Amino acid sequence: MRFLQSVRHLFSIFVYFTAITYGIGILVVSPTRSLLIVPIMTGIGLLSHAVKTTHLDELGYAIMWLWFAVLALVGGGLMIDEFVLVHREIPPVAESSMARVLGTLGLVVVLITVYVHSVQRAK
């Protein structure tokens, strides 16, 4: 029984790490590979804190809001590209390296803020 709990625990940690790195790293593409350290370090830091303090449920809640922010960011970018930039000679928002950096850092802020708020609410 203890072995099964350990396997579930390790599997949930793996899934959470994957969800964090893909969620935050969704805007990281070839020219800004140095930005890839941000989602990896955020995932390691938050997961180590959540495991140490037994707040994996709160981290799962924060990951849910991270993916909600990803969907909102992608939807907002599509709306801007389709309705604002379509008649101008401006490249799409997703091709701007500054937009990718700000988007990545914004997703980190969303994840950390929701996690800290959830941990404080759980106390």
What pLDDT is recorded for position 92?
A: 67
First to last CA, the chain: 29
Q: What is the spatial distance between Cα 23 and Cα 108, in angstroms, rounded to a whole number? A: 9
Residue 26 is predicted with a pLDDT of 83
pTM of the model: 0.85
Structural element, H or E, at residue 58: helix 56-79
pLDDT at 31 over 70: no
Does residue 2 register a pLDDT over 90? no
Buried residues in 3-31 as b, exposed as e (16+ CB within 10 A): eeeeeeeeebbeebbebbbebbbbbbeee
DSSP state of 89: S
- What pLDDT score was predicted for residue 25? 85
pLDDT in tens, 53-97: 999 999 999 999 999 999 998 888 888 878 877 777 777 666 777
Which pLDDT score, from 0 to 100, does residue 14 have?
A: 94
Query: Mean pLDDT over all residues of the chain?
Result: 87
Residue 42: how many CB atoms within 10 A of its CB? 22
Tell me, what's the pLDDT at 27? 79
Residues 6+ apart with CB under 8 A from 40: 21, 25
Q: How far apart are CA 71 and CA 73, in angstroms?
A: 5
More confident of the two residues 1 and 82: 82
Domain boundaries in the chain?
A: 2-122
pLDDT in the model for residue 20: 93
Tokens of 47: 């997961």
